[in-house]
Amino acid sequence: MKSVIICDMEGIIENLNKDAEKLFGYTNSELIGKKRVSIFSEGEIVLQNVLIWLKKANEEGSYETKTKFIKKDGTVFSAKIKVTPNFSNGKNNPQTGYCGITELIEEKVSIPISFSTKIIKGVAITRAGFGSASILPVLAVASYFAGKGDYLYSTTSLLLTLAGILTLQLFSNLYNDYFDVKDGTDGLNEEYFNVGLNDKFLQGAQISGGSRAIELGLTTLKKTKSLGRIMLGISFFSVILILVLSYYNTESVENLKSISIIALLGGFFGYFYTAPPLRLVSRNGLGELTIFLAFGPLLTLGTGYAISNETITYLSNEFINLFLLGVPVGLLTTNILFINQFPDYKSDKLAAKTNLVVLFGKKASRWIYLLFLIATFSFMYFFADILNKNILYFSYTVYYVSNGLLFLIGMLIFKHIFKNYNSRALIKSNINTIYFQMIFTIIYILLLNPFYTNF
């Protein structure tokens, strides 16, 4: 018996023979265009080995190995598999996917799972790899204070804030997965994007449709919820330490009140983003507004209060500046969420998850992405004078040239979205939107503390 399964570059099953149906226990209609080949392997094996198999098959023309597979009924069996890359009308044309030929063997195969794979497993479950969306804006606030003068913020408070914000984001990620799996949203999603081999640095990352960790068997619904509680506990403990240190640094309770309010708002948004009864993600754009505030103005304002060595008065110039600091990063982070809703459109619509893409449709939503992009750089243009009044060594030339180049890059990403909004090729824009937000924020950090212009 030789099972033959053909999949595309993302692992979506395109064809299989009768032996594959017999070996794995699925019918043709259950798999083709709906499931990915990862359904046949244990999650840790997928993380540790599958991308390596595909790379070797690409490099050598084919790759053979022994492994363990899982049948539909949960039975684990040993097998020999040969993976071969497929091409469109010959090897000189673009690669279209892979062919896997599997044979049952009597030998008992053991697949040792390395320590590094267990770390990657933790990253996959929590989606910690996307922690830059919360970490970089925190560093931008520190850079702003450093650009203004010396000794304006506490380094210890900054480190505690980074820990608290990151664990709060992980709490939110885990609970988002928990509720999306529990209410069936992720179960309906067959068109989600996985980076696979499409990018060297984000290789294998899940960029839409949740982490898929529960579906892959990397964890369970119960464990996801428990880990979320642990992350929330760490974040809460970090906030307590930040409050104590803030009082020690400022000898005032004013900052403490604001830190507490903003931390509670962050936890509220993180939980009710997908949790009933509010389920903000399903309320006609409230989900996008939540992401903008949580990863933008509220994040930078809360960070400012947390790390400042001075008391910040409500609606003072410093209060307003810290709030405004988060506007561009909030908009670009919202665009990451927004573009990731495109591949999830069908399942989100079925699950009544009425985000902006479901509300307006994919074709019209292209212009919303552009609107967020234009809003970001329009804001940066008008923000220049405010920064010039506050930042030592501020350079209009460096500022405008940097933002001009970034806007052009953003427009190139939009051009790709405009052409590929309804195809799997859109994944390049999803990947590039993530990188764009990261690169923008790193340059933003450098612009907020332009010490280098004084040399």
pLDDT at residue number 91: 59
- Measured CA to CA, the distance from residue 192 to residue 273 in angstroms comes to 19
3-class state of residue 361 by DSSP: coil
Which helix (H) or strand (E) element contains residue 64? strand 63-70
Whole-prediction pTM: 0.93
Cα–Cα–Cα angle for 428, 429, 432, rounded to 5 degrees: 85
Tokens 């922690």 belong to which residue? 131
pLDDT at residue number 329: 97
pLDDT at residue number 90: 62
Which domains does the chain carry?
3-104 (3.30.450.20), 124-454 (1.10.357.140)
Q: Measuring CA to CA, which residue among 96, 20, 89 is closest to residue 58?
A: 96
Q: What is the DSSP-derived secondary structure letter of residue 423?
A: S
- pLDDT lower than 70: segments of the chain: 90-91, 454-455
- Contacts of residue 198, defined as CB under 8 A and 6 or more positions apart, other chains included, come to 9, 427, 428, 431
- Measured CA to CA, the distance from residue 421 to residue 362 in angstroms comes to 7
- Measured CA to CA, the distance from residue 54 to residue 69 in angstroms comes to 17
- Measured CA to CA, the distance from residue 225 to residue 175 in angstroms comes to 6
Q: Is the dihedral of CA 355, 361, 362, 363 positive or negative?
A: negative
Q: What is the DSSP-derived secondary structure letter of residue 283?
A: B
In DSSP terms, 104 is beta-bridged to 79
- Do 427 and 193 contact (CB within 8 A), yes or no? yes
Alpha helices in 284-395 (DSSP H): 286-294, 297-307, 317-340, 345-350, 356-360, 362-390
- Contacts of residue 153, defined as CB under 8 A and 6 or more positions apart, other chains included, come to 141, 142, 145, 146, 307, 308, 309
